Amino acid sequence: MTETSLSALIACPRCDRTPLDQGEDGYRCPACDVDFPALSGIPWLFADPGAALGEWRGKLHFSLRQLDRERARIARSLGAQSLSAAARARLQALADATASHADRLKALLAPLDLDGMAASHETYLALRTRMPSDQGLTTYYNNVHRDWSWGDEENALALQIVQDAAAGPTGRTLVLGAGAGRLAYDLHMHSESDTTVVLDFNPMLLLLAQRITQGESVELYEFPIAPRTTQDQAVLRTLAAGRPARDGLHYVLADAHRPPFAKGSFDTIVTPWLIDILPEKFDVLCARLNTLLRDGGQWINFGSLSFHAADPALRYGPEETAQIVAQNGFDAPTLSETRIPYMCSPASRHGRQELVVSWRAQKIASVKKVPRHEALPDWLVRGKEPVPLFDAFKMQAMSTRVHAFIMSLIDGRRSVKDMAAVFAEQKLMSKDEAEPAIRAFLIKMYEDSQRG
């Protein structure tokens, strides 16, 4: 086997895939005149590297603030005089674990504090790139423990499904949206692939995967959703791989919407638990994967098939999914379904069975130029076009005005009934209509305040 260097595969995610020049501390695009740094040796190949770094720093700070608030809530509970000895011991252990977890998270993500990397908000908008708002630093934190500490059952089944789908050697392989990296590691270690590239946009997941697959052990707390015992409230896990990865396993931090690779770079692309969560039309994703594969290359998909687009027409079923794949330069795939355990922690009563979908699609034709992914529309980016008056905006505007008026009436003296009377005086609603509406809003406000 002859390993393909990572520098021979990557290209600029900002312009039209210009080859990058490699330097001592990362890469540089000669066409864009932009430097792409590295985090602990992992190339940081976002279209605007400074803005992406700033956003992930913000997500880290938000996660740490959440842990601070959780410690404060636990401390308040510990201050109660009526606690039993068992409850006090449980809460104290949870408080200690939460504090330790924050320290471990800061240590793991220390590479985010790179010098001289300031976020460029204007450039970020111009490039229409941004991290999804629903993706936090620890959104897939439990996957870390599933991949590296709960045992091999789920991981072995995932590997077998992908291996069964593949036809022959996988060659140069890209695992797109690799998460905590276990499937990519297993594929690399159990195949004859000379080069496996592991891409994800979450620095916590890849920094951790890199350390583990290099042979390190990392200790992190698991906080089970439904602890089986008192001791399972917070479990310090040792995360480790069976053995260090052989040569040819490479990590890249980048956005799957703008994969930083030259056309035709890969023999195989694997998309694990990815295709139905990306905020992009599925046919565009299919075309983009087509351009990254060599002629005759294969696309292997594995995971859920649960499209959740706002437009019901884009919530594809299996037959539609296969048809769209075939319309974008691939042969018609045969979809297979396998029921497997999913996210079944030994310390939790929470877990489920999942019917996963897999397929292999071979590239049989090239597609036309794929449109560049744009996360934001012109009226937001340029700021010159009229802001569309969507129905959702209308409803939100009305709700905001009503809610703002309710908040203005909160003075520590008025009751719900008093506030309803003001609504009636202002001819906004009748008193009978206003009282339940105000109460519902205040219930939500109260419940949100109790959650911290």
The CATH number of the domain holding residue 287 is: 3.40.50.150
Residues 157, 225 share a domain: yes
pLDDT of residue 61: 85
pLDDT tens-digit readout, 194-229? 899 999 999 999 999 999 999 999 999 999 999 999
In a domain, 56, yes or no: no
The reply to whether 208 and 299 lie within a common domain is yes
**303/415 same-domain check:** no
H or E element that contains 154: helix 153-165
Output the CA torsion 130→131→133→135 (10° steps): 170
The verdict on 190 and 244 lying in the same domain is: yes
How many other β-carbons are positioned within 10 Å of the β-carbon of residue 327? 13
pLDDT value of residue 119:
44
Mean pLDDT value of segment 178-190: 97
**Which pLDDT band holds residue 19 (cuts at 50, 70, 90)?**
very high
End-to-end CA distance of the chain: 55
- Contact partners, residue 223, CB within 8 Å, separation at least 6: 97, 101, 233, 234
* Pairwise CA distance, residues 333 & 323, whole Å: 8
pLDDT on residue 409: 94
For residue 380, what is the enclosing H or E element? helix 378-381
**Over the chain, what is the mean pLDDT?**
90
Instruction: Give the pLDDT score at 369.
Output: 82
Residue 251 has pLDDT above 50, yes or no: yes
Q: Which pLDDT band, with edges at 50, 70 and 90, does 310 fall under?
A: confident
Would residue 83 count as lying in a domain? no
Question: What is residue 34's three-state secondary structure?
Answer: strand
SS3 of residue 252 by DSSP: strand
For residues 328-344, give the mean pLDDT.
96
Question: What residues contact 394, with CB distance under 8 A and at least 6 apart?
Answer: none
On the question of pLDDT at 6 being above 90, the answer is yes
Least confident of 57-61, 67-71, 105-109: 57-61
Same domain as 250, residue 136: yes
What value does the mean pLDDT take over residues 21-43? Answer: 92
Which pair of structure tokens corresponds to residue 224? Answer: 């089970």
| Alpha-carbon span 249 to 42, nearest angstrom | 11
CA 305 to chain centre: 17
The reply to whether 77 falls in a domain is: no
pLDDT-above-70 percentage for the chain: 94
Q: Residue type at 146?
A: R
Indicate whether 219 and 160 sit together in one domain.
yes
pLDDT at position 373 over 80: no
> What pLDDT is recorded for position 131?
57
Looking at the predicted structure, is the pLDDT value of residue 123 above 80? no
Same domain, 12 and 136: no
Does some domain include residue 413? Answer: yes
Dihedral of CA 369/374/378/379: which sign? positive
Which tops the pLDDT comparison, 54 or 94?
A: 94
Per-range mean pLDDT, top range of 18-27, 116-125, 180-189, 400-409? 180-189
DSSP state of 18: P
pLDDT at 81 over 90: no
Residue 356 belongs to some domain of the structure:
yes
pLDDT band at residue 338, thresholds of 50, 70 and 90? Answer: very high
b/e per residue 17-27 (b: at least 16 CB within 10 A):
bebbeeeeebb
297 and 161 share one domain: yes
Higher local confidence (pLDDT), 189 or 24: 189
- If asked whether residues 151 and 248 sit together in one domain, one would say yes
Same domain, 193 and 290: yes
Has residue 66 been placed in a domain? no
Q: Residues with Cβ < 8 Å from 149, sequence gap 6 or more?
A: 222, 237, 238, 239, 240
**Radius of gyration of the chain from its Cα atoms, rounded to whole angstroms:** 25
Residue 396 pLDDT class (50, 70, 90 cuts) = confident
Asked if residue 123 belongs to a domain, the reply is no
Q: Which residues contact 298 (CB under 8 A, 6 or more apart)?
A: 166, 167, 170, 267, 268, 269, 360, 361, 362, 363
> Chain centroid to CA 341: how far?
21
| Relative orientation angle of helices 141-148 and 153-165, to the nearest 10 degrees | 90
Task: Tell me the three-class secondary structure of 212-235, residue by residue.
Answer: HHCCCCEEEEECCCCECCHHHHCE
Q: Does any domain span residue 185?
A: yes
Q: What pLDDT is stored for residue 448 in this prediction?
A: 82
Give the count of domains, the chain. Answer: 3
DSSP 318-369: HHHHHHHHHTTTBPPPPPEEEEEEES--TTBS--EEEEEEEEEEEB-S---P
Q: Which residues pair with 302 in a beta bridge?
A: 272, 358
Q: Is residue 450 pLDDT above 80, yes or no?
A: no
- 410 with 325, same domain: the answer is no
Sort residue 337 into left (φ over 0), alpha (ψ -120 to 50) or beta: beta
Q: Which domain holds residue 336?
A: 131-362
Percent of the chain surpassing pLDDT 90: 69
Please check whether residue 434 is in contact with residue 424, taking contact to mean a CB–CB distance below 8 angstroms. yes
Find out whether 185 and 242 touch, Cβ atoms under 8 Å: no
Residue of 169, 168, 109, 174 whose CA lies nearest to 141: 109
Q: Are residues 398 and 354 in the same domain?
A: no
